[in-house]
Structure 1
Amino acid sequence: MYTVGQVAKFLNVSRDTLKFYEEKELVKPKQNSENGYRKYNHFDIYDITTVNFYREIDIEIKKIQELRKGKSLEGIQSLLEEKEQEVLEKIEYKKLLLKKLQVVKEDCEKIKQFLGVYAVKEMKPLEIKGEIEHYTAYDEYDTLKESTDSLKKAVILTSLRRVIRFNEEGILEDKFIIVRRVEDCDKAIEGEILSHPKCIYTVVEDGRWSTGGKNTDHKVEASLRKVAKEKGYELLGLVYINLLLTTYEDGLERIFLEIYVPIK
């Protein structure tokens, strides 16, 4: 027989946890009627380790209480298969987040290297998952979230690209698209593939810290036209804008955007 302290130390659980299990009748140690001390036998140890396992895989107390009353081996197997699927989905989402973290780390290097600098780069392939008709149509975000199961929570809004179509007279179209990077070995492509082998590429700073809240679209457009003219590039009438990073200084946001302008 074991004391509360011995069981707590042996199984690395707190006394409060053991008391909670007892209150929920998940373990029923014998109690000395004279001094009130509780004693655990090896069957109680099995109960506690089993409850710990179920709690570790995030099965709620009520469900564990039901299991205590009786559950067939097939029923337990079915329950474990459900939890297995939940865990696999969480792992996939964590992989997405890890990948996004790694991408943002790379984006920090892009800002250092290309802020205010114009270069010629390829815009690598992107799969289009959906679009928002106008870049201010925020009410369309929820609809797009529902239709893109592979992009969840925080991941989705960081996968937006602003697309501007223009000609010599001005802007013809301004919208957002939701995209997914296409990997070299990607076989799960369903949507339209977007890519441009040759673009003017730069990183610009936006946000109230640098602009005072003013719209800088025309200023950026003028700079791009100037670079294209100086280098002898022919613009194709498209601009793709991607949010790289948002940070803050003096309580105001600093927004860094990367810009791809397809050229001939």
Structure 2
Amino acid sequence: MYTIGQVAKFLGVSRDTLKFYEDKELVKPNQDIENGYRKYSHFDIYDITTVNFYREMDIEIKKIQELRKSKSIEGIQLLLEEKEQDVLEEIEYKKLLLKKLQIVKEDCEKIKQFLGEYIVKEMEPLEIKGQIEHFTAYDEYETLQKNTDSLKKAVTLTSLRRVISFNEEGIIEDKFIIVRKVEDFDKEIEGEILSHSKCIYTVIENGRWSTGGKNMDDYVGASLRKVALEQGYELLGLVYVNLLLTTYEDGLERVFLEIYAPIK
């Protein structure tokens, strides 16, 4: 027989943990009637190591209590299969989280490299998954949720692209489309593919800190026309706007936008 101190020492668990297991009826050591000391048998050691094993696999206490009462081999297999599915889903979530973190890091580099600069580059293919009236059309966000690779159902504005159609007289149409980047290994694509081999590309800063809340559309349009004229390009009358990053200065937002303007 072993004391609680001895068990805690050679199993590497605290006394509080052992008492918690006892409170949850996961282990039932004998108790000396005269002095109240707990005495643990080798069967109690089996119980504690089993509980530790399941806890390390993040099995809920309630599930372990069910195991402690009665569980067939088949029942244990079912429990482990359920946990396996949870772990696989968590792995997929972590992969998506890692991918989005890497994208944001890349976006930070884009801002540092291209803010205020104008170059010609390709707009990589995007699959159009849907459309909403405006990014403030919150009643339409259910459509956005259904059509984006979101983190645990969180609505991500990075899945939106603002599309502005214009001519010499001004803006003709202004809408928002829901998109997904087309990967090289994609085999099944359901929506329309949007791509442009040549675009005038830049990153601009918007937001109340830099503009005082003024509309930047006219400024951006004039800048693109000026660059196109200077470099001998003809604009196609479209501009795609992507939100890269939002940060803050003196409590006011600084919004960095990625601009693609297709050219002939």
Deviation at 1:155?
7.0
Give 1:43's aligned amino acid: F
Matched residue, 1:165: 165
Please name the residue that 1:245 is paired with.
245
What residue in structure 2 maps to residue 156 of structure 1? 156
Q: Matched residues in 1 for 2:207 and 2:259: separation? A: 15
Q: Compared with structure 1, are the counterparts of its residues 193 and 14 closer, same or farther at alpha carbon in structure 2 (3 Å cutoff)?
A: farther
- SS at 2:127 equivalent: strand
Matches within 5 A, 1:188-203: 188-203=188-203
1 CA distance for matches of 2:160 and 2:224?
Answer: 22
Q: 1:26 offset after TM fit, Å?
A: 0.7
Query: Gapped runs of 5+ residues in structure 1?
Result: none
Q: AA paired with 1:151? A: S
User: Aligned partners of 1:148, 1:53: CA distance in 2, in Å?
Assistant: 40
Query: Is the alpha carbon distance of 1:190 and 1:3 closer, same or farther for their aligned partners in structure 2, counting shifts above 3 Å?
Result: farther
CA–CA distance in structure 2, aligned partners of residues 150 and 158 of structure 1:
10
Percent sequence identity is 83
> How far did 1:191 drift?
2.3
Q: Please give the alpha-carbon distance, in whole angstroms, between the structure 1 residues aligned to 2:45 and 2:131.
A: 56
- Please, what is the CA RMSD of the aligned residues? 1.9
State the distance in 1 between where 2:160 and 2:2 align.
59
For the residue of structure 2 that corresponds to 1:158, the secondary structure is helix
Specify the alignment match of 2:122 in structure 1. Answer: 122
Please give the per-residue CA displacement for 1:132-173, whole angstroms capped at 9, x wherever unaligned: 12333122113321x237423457333222222222332232
Aligned to 1:212: 212
> Could you tell me whether the CA contact under 8 Å between 2:141 and 2:155 is conserved in 1?
no
Which residue is equivalent to 1:110?
110
Partner amino acid for 1:232? G
Residue 31 (structure 1) aligns with: 31
* CA–CA separation in structure 2 for the residues paired with 1:173 and 1:16: 66
Size of the aligned set, in residue pairs, is: 263
Q: Which amino acid aligns with 2:190?
A: E
Q: Could you say what secondary structure the match of 2:110 adopts? A: helix
Point out the more displaced range, 105-114 or 228-237: 228-237
Moved more, 37-46 or 251-260: 37-46
Alpha carbons 1:135, 1:174 under 8 Å: kept: no
Distance in structure 2 (CA, Å) of the matches to 1:25 and 1:149 = 45
The residue type paired with residue 169 of structure 2 is E
- 1 CA distance for matches of 2:189 and 2:180? 10
The corresponding residue for 1:176 is 176
Does structure 1 conserve the Cα–Cα contact (< 8 Å) formed by 2:163 and 2:176? yes
8 Å Cα contact 1:135/1:175 also seen in 2? no
Q: Can you list the C-alpha shifts for 1:97-129, whole angstroms capped at 9, x where unaligned?
A: 111111111111111110000000111112222
The match for 1:52 is 52
Deviations for 1:190-225, whole angstroms, at most 9, x for unmatched residues? Answer: 322221111100000011110112221111111111
Matching of residue 134 in structure 1 with residue 144 in structure 2: no
| Partner-residue secondary structure (3-state), 2:243 | strand
